[in-house]
Structure 1
Amino acid sequence: MIELTRQYGRYGYRRIAALLRDAGWHVNDKRVERPWRREGLNVPMKHPKKGRLWLNDGSCVRLRPEHRNHVWSCDLVHCRTDDGKAFRTLNIIDEYSRECLAIRVDRKLNPGNVIDALNDLFILHGAPSFIRSDNGPEFVAQAVQDWIKAVGAKTACIEPGSPWENGYCESFNARFRDEFLNVEIFQSLREARILIEEWRKHDNTKRPHSVLGHRPPAPETIVQMDRRPVMH
């Protein structure tokens, strides 16, 4: 448990318990919680959740995903290499499965980069029904809008100043920054690309997601439940 905490310092005891079970230990959350608290491994409390945007007629602005490839979310995150130079990441997730489909890393990202990243994903997964994003120039550029329409998808831009409408991607971005960007030093852009891709694969295949019952969005293997050792 302590070794996992050293490796994933921002995980809580429930997520650590899920990793222990995946490693073969027959242990529930409560059994991990007691030594967790005794060792002082508590993670700081999260900030209160924000409310949704409600219209005058009482309806909520929200397009809810119903299946894979129904709604994808795109957003940009800013960071810096150790020499102080800025770089950006284009994060694209499937809102239904919570899988991070791609993270494009570059010093600058323009509408052409957005089209290239989406085109690669369309080849692998097919076109989604909707692509949700904020109103940044990289996403609302006419070239991007026309290209998305041409491939048979629709855009779902959020209301200006309402990031909670893109809540799935905002939640991913917060986890990306808290668990990874804030604890890594990138010596170069190439190193950032390699480490970020490794983290993306870990998030998809190994990291327990509470909303998915502490299972990863795209696990690589299926653990045989009846072969797990008992924790003494």
Structure 2
Amino acid sequence: MKRRFRCPVEAKKEYVLEVLSGLRTEVVARKYGMSPKTLTTWIRQYEDEVGELVAKKQAETQQMKQDAANYQELQQKYDEALKLFWRKRIRKPILKDLVKKKVPRLQTVIVWIERGYPVRTVLRICDVPRSTYYYHLKHPERQQPISSGRKIPGYSYNQQGKRISDTRIVGFHRKLTVLLRRKYNVVINKKKVYRLCKSLGILFPQRERKNTVPRKAANNRVVDGPNQLWQMDIKYGYVAGKRRHFFLASIIDVFDRRIVAHHRGKACDTQSILSTIQQALLTRRIHKTKPKLVIRTDNGPQFVSKAFYAFCEETGLEHERTPIRTPNKNAFIESFHSVLERECYQRHCFESYEEAFSEVDRYIRYYNKDRIHGSLYDWSPIDYLRLVDEGAIEPKSIAL
């Protein structure tokens, strides 16, 4: 005869509660060693009483979840408020350190973090990436020991190893070094001889470069008519048949982009430049204008010569020179040379100087008469100036 499963009422209700909480009947029965049928009977018997407890527990669980969510939200708001408080409190002192002390940002970050302020807040104020800060912590910079250098011994050696006092070595350092090595077999370098000569006060002062030609820097100006500003420069060309270069010196009027005059030849000295300017003045029928005609060049040797300066003074030209390494101040003639390189030099392989000169002359005639410019209302330089003189189109003002 099978033994009946006996237990108190409270235990039965607990088993029923586990089933109503979501566990399967077979699992609970197997857990406590009873028959699933018996457990099903108890569920039907105590379902109403235990259901109230389940609902109560579910309500308590739901309330606990709600309280936890509210607590998490409050904690998040508190953290944000705390971050905002620290950010406002330390933002001004950190920015003062960055402005007044003029130290690297990373060094300022390290100082404030070592004082105990939040890492993320300090990094955000100083605009330093987190990766940079943590990389610095992992790979600190090695401080190089400060060395005072080798002490000056006060003597030198000759090739036989004999000491020679420094007080016996006087003179001018570079040539004196050569003489000491050749005549007296002293093992010494020119730096030491320079220091000795300097300490004795027998060094010649360095020569000062005297440029007798005054320099006038290129100023910003507005060009609204012809013969106000000319730009001039020199460009190389290559004759493949001779394996030699030739020179092209061009003058462009900034207003109408016309090549007023040009020189091409095997050489380009100051006299060639002056002849080209004279040709341009005759072409435009200019003698002395008020205000002065401005001619702008770079700092080539032809343009800084005394002859060029005297010519400008005599003809009433105002000569401007661009700053060093500033080709944009001479942009119009540089642009023309770029177009010339692309549309003429690169399309031809010159076999002789005559062929090169002829092709350059042909292209400049085409450039002035036929080649249209987008900045000139799609007219060529000659047509643009003619239409402006006739009043057919409105001239463009150029600020440069």
TM-score after normalising by structure 2: 0.39
CA RMSD of aligned residues (A): 2.0
Cα distance, 1:188 vs. partner?
1.2
Alignment of 1:22-33 (within 5 A): none
User: Any idea what the Cα deviations from partners look like across 1:168-188, whole Å, max 9, x if unmatched?
Assistant: 111111111111111111121
Question: Does the alignment pair 1:85 with 2:244?
Answer: yes
The within-5 A match list for 1:1-80 is: 61-80=219-238
Where in structure 2 are the equivalents of 1:1-232 lying within 5 Å? 61-82=219-240, 83-125=242-284, 126-127=286-287, 129-219=293-383
Q: Does structure 1 retain, via aligned residues, the 8 Å contact 2:327–2:334?
A: yes
Task: Give 1:74 shift.
Answer: 0.6
Larger helix proportion of the pair = 2
Q: Which amino acid aligns with 2:254?
A: E
Structure 1, unmatched stretches of 5+, are: 1-59, 223-232
C-alpha deviation, 1:212, in angstroms: 0.6
Q: Distance in 2 between matches of 1:151 and 1:103?
A: 19
Which residue number in structure 2 is paired with residue 37 of structure 1? none
Structure 2 segments unaligned to the other structure (5+ residues): 1-217, 388-400
Question: How far apart are the structure 2 equivalents of 1:78 and 1:63?
Answer: 29
Amino acid at match of 1:195: E
Q: Provide TM-score, normalisation by structure 1.
A: 0.66
Which runs of structure 1 show a deviation greater than 2 angstroms over 4 or more consecutive aligned residues? 60-66, 219-222
**Alpha-carbon separation, structure 2, partners of 1:107 and 1:64:** 36
Instruction: Supply the AA of the counterpart residue of 1:88.
Output: F
1:4 matched to which residue of 2? none
2: CA distance, partners of 1:205 / 1:116: 23
- The share of aligned pairs that are identical, in percent, is 21
Aligned partners of 1:103 and 1:196 also within 8 Å = no
The separation in 2 between residues aligned to 1:168 and 1:62, in whole angstroms, is: 14
Give the number of aligned pairs. Answer: 163
**Higher Cα radius of gyration:** 2
- Structure scoring higher RCO (CA < 8 A, sep ≥ 6) equals 1
